[in-house]
Amino acid sequence: MVFFKQNPAPSKSFPLERTDAEWRASLAPEAYRVLRQHGTERPGTSPLNHEKRPGRFVCAGCGQALFDAATKYESGTGWPSFYAPLEDAVGTQVDRALFMVRTEVHCANCGGHLGHVFPDGPPPTGLRYCMNGAAMSFESADKP
């Protein structure tokens, strides 16, 4: 039995749009569940939790650069956390699922669900962008 409704995709249009069938064909099952169905991965399961190299975290759906690795920190939550996104990389909307009000974070290019932002992060922003690793991939600064 489902007691809450998952958030729909953000209602605005985005530069990159695909049909549901195209998203299913282009994404791994867990990435599809998180990015397109607003799922959440289990805490502590993402290899990106341990990523410490210089580089950037990009959307697993479209490749849009989202976060510089220099803004990543260990929040103790079990999800990759950042104190600031790259400029114009993400958007937000109100999330009323799970009987609470939160701020959902999505990719500004494709609208994919990334996670949530909370006001309990470190300086300089005081924000914690708590992201699903399944929604992102990592590009090392050492990449040729």
**Residues labelled catalytic:** 130
Are 119 and 107 contacting, i.e. CB atoms less than 8 angstroms apart? no
Place of tokens 């959440």: 40
Copy the structure tokens of residue 134.
């399944």
| Interstrand relation of 136-140 and 55-59 (parallel, antiparallel or unpaired) | antiparallel
Please tell me whether residue 27 adopts helix, strand or coil conformation.
Answer: coil
- DSSP 3-state assignment of 140? strand
Max Cα–Cα distance, the chain, nearest Å = 49
* Distance from C-alpha of 12 to C-alpha of 65, rounded to nearest angstrom: 20
Q: What are phi and psi for residue 21, nearest 5 degrees?
A: -60, -40
Instruction: Extract the tokens encoding 136.
Output: 């992102």
